[in-house]
């Protein structure tokens, strides 16, 4: 029997809540399945609805989501193999560069109001975070520096995007970039500095929100269909 189609948002939230619940339960081993499903769903959704976007936007976004999926998989095993943490870091670094490339393609012809203020704020935040973590990083200092530069580049290029008649797509993308920074900051503090209460919920919740908002913002741009399409499950 064919079920009624449901909005993608509810389907996506179901996957996120399932992963959050699995991560806090006695069957956390199933996260090898539930965690990748979050990005797989976004990949398939964007892959279907984003085809009307210019190829210079569509292809790098698909790559960003694919690198994010690889990063998710690698970080599932980061506590068992240190190499997997580095591979995960590298995968997300590439994802940020792909997103930054997309945002540069959509950049405003002039620096938006507050650009230098936001840039200074991001640099100050990234520098402070690194200084707090530096003593605990050991041989990971250079990879972490590069990663911080990557995510800050993604965030500032998101801020520099051109605003359309409707500011909603712009707001969604930049808010997603901010959530990405929040998620990675919590993850870094929890891994290297001190245990963060409910870290799993905070990291995955903000991360899933970041990816969702960026995808929805890009789909809401000109030449893309409405991001309110439905999926049948």
Are residues 60 and 95 in contact, defined by beta-carbon separation less than 8 angstroms?
Answer: no
Are residues 36 and 69 in contact, defined by beta-carbon separation less than 8 angstroms?
Answer: yes
Q: At which residue do the structure tokens 């008649």 appear?
A: 165
- Residues near 106 by Cβ (< 8 Å), separated by ≥ 6? 57, 161, 162, 221
Q: How far apart are CA 61 and CA 96, in angstroms?
A: 10
| Better-scored residue on pLDDT, 140 or 228 | 140
Residue 95 reports pLDDT greater than 60: yes
Q: Spell out a b/e string for 154-179, using b for 16 or more CB atoms within 10 Å of the CB, else e.
A: bbbbbbbbeeeeeeebbebbbbbbbb
Q: How far apart are CA 125 and CA 81, in angstroms?
A: 29
**Mean pLDDT for the stretch of residues 42-65:** 95
CA 128 to chain CA mean position, Å: 21
Question: Of 28-37, 128-137, 146-155, 209-218, which gets the smallest average pLDDT?
Answer: 28-37
Q: How far apart are CA 219 and CA 115, in angstroms?
A: 24
pLDDT category at 2 given cuts 50, 70, 90 is: very low
72 φ, ψ to 5°? -60, -45
Residue 223 reports pLDDT greater than 60: no
Q: How far apart are CA 210 and CA 23, in angstroms?
A: 19
Question: Of 90-99, 143-152, 217-226, which gets the smallest average pLDDT?
Answer: 217-226
pLDDT tens digits along 109-119: 888 899 999 99
pLDDT tens digits along 73-83: 999 988 787 89
- Mean pLDDT, rounded, of the chain: 90
Are residues 204 and 20 in contact, defined by beta-carbon separation less than 8 angstroms?
Answer: yes
- What pLDDT does residue 165 have? 59
- What pLDDT does residue 231 have? 46
Residue 135 reports pLDDT greater than 60: yes
Residues shown for the chain: 233
**Mean pLDDT for the stretch of residues 92-108:** 96
Q: What is the CA radius of gyration of the chain?
A: 18
- What pLDDT does residue 228 have? 46
Q: How far apart are CA 47 and CA 206, in angstroms?
A: 23
- What pLDDT does residue 232 have? 44
């Amino acid at each position: 029997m064919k079920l009624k189609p449901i909005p993608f948002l509810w389907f996506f939230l179901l996957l996120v809540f399932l992963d959050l619940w699995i991560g806090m339960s006695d069957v956390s081993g199933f996260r090898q399945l539930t965690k990748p499903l979050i990005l797989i769903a976004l990949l398939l959704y964007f892959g279907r609805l984003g085809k009307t976007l210019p190829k210079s936007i569509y292809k790098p976004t698909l790559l960003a989501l694919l690198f994010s999926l690889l990063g998710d998989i690698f970080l599932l095993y980061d506590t068992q193999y240190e190499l997997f943490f580095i591979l995960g870091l590298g995968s997300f670094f590439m994802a940020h560069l792909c997103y930054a490339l997309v945002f540069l393609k959509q950049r405003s012809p002039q620096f938006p109001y507050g650009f230098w203020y936001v840039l200074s704020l991001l640099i100050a935040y990234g520098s402070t975070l690194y200084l707090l973590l530096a003593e605990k990083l050991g041989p990971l200092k250079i990879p972490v520096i590069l990663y911080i530069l990557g995510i800050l580049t993604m965030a500032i290029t998101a801020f520099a995007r051109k605003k359309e008649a409707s500011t909603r797509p712009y707001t969604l993308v930049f808010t997603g970039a901010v959530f990405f920074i929040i998620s990675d900051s919590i993850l870094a503090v929890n891994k290297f500095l001190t245990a963060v209460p409910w870290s799993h919920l905070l990291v995955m919740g903000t991360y899933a929100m970041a990816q969702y908002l960026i995808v929805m913002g890009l789909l809401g741009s000109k030449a893309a269909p409405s991001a309110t399409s439905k999926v049948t499950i």
